[in-house]
Amino acid sequence: MMKLGFIRAAMRAVVRVAMLAAVLALGLALVSCGDGATGSGSSNESNGIVGTWVTQQFGGGTLTFNSNLTFSTTGMQTFNILRSGTYSVSDNTITFRAVGEATPYSVPGLIRGDAIYWGDGIFTRQGSTGGGGGNTSEGGTLEGRWQRTSGGTNYEYTFDKGVWTFSENSIPFDRGNYTTNANQLTLNMTEDYFNETRAYLYNTSVGWKSRSQASELYRQRGWSEERINELFAPRIYTYAVNGGTLVWTNDFGITSTFLRVVTIWER
């Protein structure tokens, strides 16, 4: 089953890349479904998107949004992009209508602060140092979903507005709050998840348990206070984000690499 899950995940990844390449080959880009022509966020000024955005991916290039709702691209020869046209904005959706194309196109992505993400690509605002919207390192924003696979197990961390969640093979494990200071990331665990197996072993209900609730369950099973405190102790990492890659090293010198999972986020 684990092997089958890996194959399915790989197939989904191939499909996503193929879809991205097809859209980019048409010289069109980003963000979720719908035509983006209406809605409270239809003003490009309110989204702060006017300006030039730079990428080192797709062969390198720029994407420029003008205040008169026209756009243009340069470079990105990997996908043969050199197009221009008009665009509209609604919340986190940008819809492009390229010159000579009758139908507008869009693809799932994310606009946040000084960064635009879609597929495996990232554009940063010209003159900025990387992703925006809160916790950042030199190469981009920490917020989002990050995954790594080791020994057939898929590990995922989600960072969202100061809250992190950790899961294994899509099963929640624990969560809490996090802070960053330069290249240091601190995770504070506040809740522990008891799945069906753990709930049965600890004679409790399935779901999230607060620190006090989980600690009491562990005491009933003979855990020492030292062991409980170690479980909930802050986890400190030295980290760096470079576009779609997160690399961190823990206090024991062990380094792990995660890849960004792009999804649509609310503003």
Q: Determine the pLDDT at residue 196.
A: 94
Domain map of the chain by residue range? 2-125, 136-261
Q: CATH number for 2-125: choose from 3.30.70, 2.60.40, 2.40.50, 2.40.128.
A: 2.40.128
- Give pLDDT tens digits for 143-176: 888 888 888 888 999 998 899 999 998 899 999 9
Q: Which residues of the chain have pLDDT under 50?
A: 1-46, 128-139, 263-267
Q: Determine the pLDDT at residue 111.
A: 67
- Give pLDDT tens digits for 124-133: 777 644 433 3
**Which residue spans within the chain are E strands per DSSP?**
51-55, 61-65, 70-75, 84-90, 93-98, 109-112, 115-118, 121-125, 136-137, 140-141, 144-150, 153-160, 163-168, 171-181, 184-194, 207-210, 235-242, 245-249, 255-261
Q: Determine the pLDDT at residue 106.
A: 60
Tokens of 129: 């140092």
159 touches 175 (CB < 8 A)? no
- Give pLDDT tens digits for 3-38: 444 444 444 443 444 444 443 333 333 333 333 333
Q: Which CATH class is domain 136-261?
A: mainly beta
Q: Determine the pLDDT at residue 139.
A: 46
Q: Annotate 48-92 with DSSP letters as a single string.
A: T--EEEEESSTTSEEEEE-TTSEEEEEE-GGGT---EEEEEEETT
56 touches 145 (CB < 8 A)? no
Q: Determine the pLDDT at residue 143.
A: 84
Question: pTM for the full model?
Answer: 0.51
Q: Determine the pLDDT at residue 219.
A: 96
Q: Do domains 2-125 and 136-261 have the same CATH topology?
A: yes
